[in-house]
């Protein structure tokens, strides 16, 4: 009972934390909470340790490195090793369909292909050679993306929907976000690879969770475990319930049950993020635009000079042209191919 309660509590805590961050990320509450937490921690942790932590965090999240790529491949390899070593063999003994068992491997191959493409492909780097053509792709809304703005770091004019990535030190066309897991920016030219990578990663986690769950249920049914009884702490004979059954399976097959818990949690997290990404694709928004979209842009905006009497302007998405057109822009970026030829 203790294990199950702790695991469910941990799972609920992680999911609630992710949801809270998503809700608060567009407000000032999260920044205030982070600042307050940092001040409390600074009073407890020695200065030398704080400097070391800042250096590590700066290296991990503010410089291009392969740490998260290696972590990604390590976790993926460990999960598939456990699936191959135990679940696959046991399922074959129970007469599972081979096509059903091989589906996670098919998804793995597709996932690794698009993971590699997301890592190495050009996200849409803006250069002097393609600057003019990219300026014609999207309309300037004069709110979030005003005309005639220039990136002084890259020394190029900024097309609408572009952004300078401080990690990669380049301006990216239709900038979405910088992803540490692929060590690359996600932009106009590799968003399709990233979306398929995320889709296959979610599908592979969900498939392995389903296969493992069906195996455990089949094992319980075949062995008639659900008909067994046990003696409780008071010496009374009790019929096995679901809580006791899960604990028994964890003690008997700990690696399989632990892996199942991990992929179930991963399926929820990845599934939520995939739904969010699909929503952005369907409405022709980027993560950068979504994050900044609800803010009022007024005469205090440093990029636009407005008279003191000017009323605040709120950003509105002017780039959505229907579901199929929006998805076509992700998967068939015609402007990207033209710009690549000019590059």
Rg (CA), the chain: 25
Count CA atoms closer than 13 A to 240's CA, side-chain side: 14
Spatial CA neighbour of 64 closest among 125, 127, 120, 130: 120
d(CA 1, CA 209): 22
Largest CA distance in the chain: 82
Strand, coil or helix: 229: strand
Say whether 338 is catalytic: no
Nearest 5°: CA angle at 246, between 240 and 251?
A: 105
Tokens of 25: 């990320």
Burial readout 2-29 (b: 16 or more C-beta within 10 A, e: otherwise): eeeeebeeeeeeeeeeeeeeeeeeeeee
Among residues 179, 185, 275, 301, which one is catalytic?
179
254-282 and 2-24 are packed helices; what angle lies between their axes, rounded to 10 degrees? 20
Torsion 176-197-211-74 (CA) sign: negative
d(CA 22, CA 30): 10
- Answer whether 328's CB lies under 8 Å from 294's CB: no
d(CA 162, CA 175): 5
What are the residue numbers of the active site?
Answer: 179
């Amino acid at each position: 009972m203790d294990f199950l309660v702790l695991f469910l509590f941990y799972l609920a805590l992680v999911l609630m934390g992710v949801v809270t961050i998503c809700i608060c990320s567009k407000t000032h509450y999260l920044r205030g909470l982070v600042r307050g937490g940092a001040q409390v921690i600074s009073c407890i942790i020695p200065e030398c340790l704080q400097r070391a932590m800042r250096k590590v965090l700066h290296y991990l999240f503010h410089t291009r490195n392969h740490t998260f790529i290696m972590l990604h491949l390590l976790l993926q390899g460990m999960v598939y090793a456990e699936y191959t070593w135990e679940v696959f063999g046991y399922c074959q003994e129970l007469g599972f369909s081979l096509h059903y068992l091989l589906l996670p491997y098919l998804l793995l191959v597709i996932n690794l292909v698009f993971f590699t493409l997301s890592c190495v492909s050009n996200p849409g780097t803006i250069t002097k050679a393609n600057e003019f053509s990219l300026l014609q792709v999207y309309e300037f809304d004069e709110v979030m993306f005003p005309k005639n703005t220039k990136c002084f770091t890259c020394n190029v004019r900024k097309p609408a929907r572009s952004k300078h990535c401080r990690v990669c030190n380049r301006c990216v066309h239709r900038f979405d976000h910088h992803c540490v897991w692929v060590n690359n920016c996600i932009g106009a030219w590799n968003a399709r690879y990233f979306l398929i990578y995320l889709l296959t990663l979610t599908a592979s986690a969900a498939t392995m969770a389903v296969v493992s769950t069906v195996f455990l249920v089949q094992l319980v049914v075949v062995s008639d475990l659900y008909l067994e009884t046990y003696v409780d702490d008071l010496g009374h004979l009790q019929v096995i319930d679901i809580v006791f059954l899960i604990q028994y399976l964890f003690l008997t097959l700990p690696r399989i049950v632990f892996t199942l818990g991990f992929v179930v949690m991963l399926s929820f997290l990845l599934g939520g993020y995939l739904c969010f990404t699909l929503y952005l694709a369907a409405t022709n928004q980027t993560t950068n635009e979504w994050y900044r979209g609800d803010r009022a842009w007024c005469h205090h905006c440093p990029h636009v000079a407005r008279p003191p009497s000017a009323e605040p302007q709120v950003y509105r998405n002017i780039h959505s042209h229907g579901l199929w057109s929006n998805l076509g822009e992700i998967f068939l970026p015609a402007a990207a191919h033209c710009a690549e030829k000019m590059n």
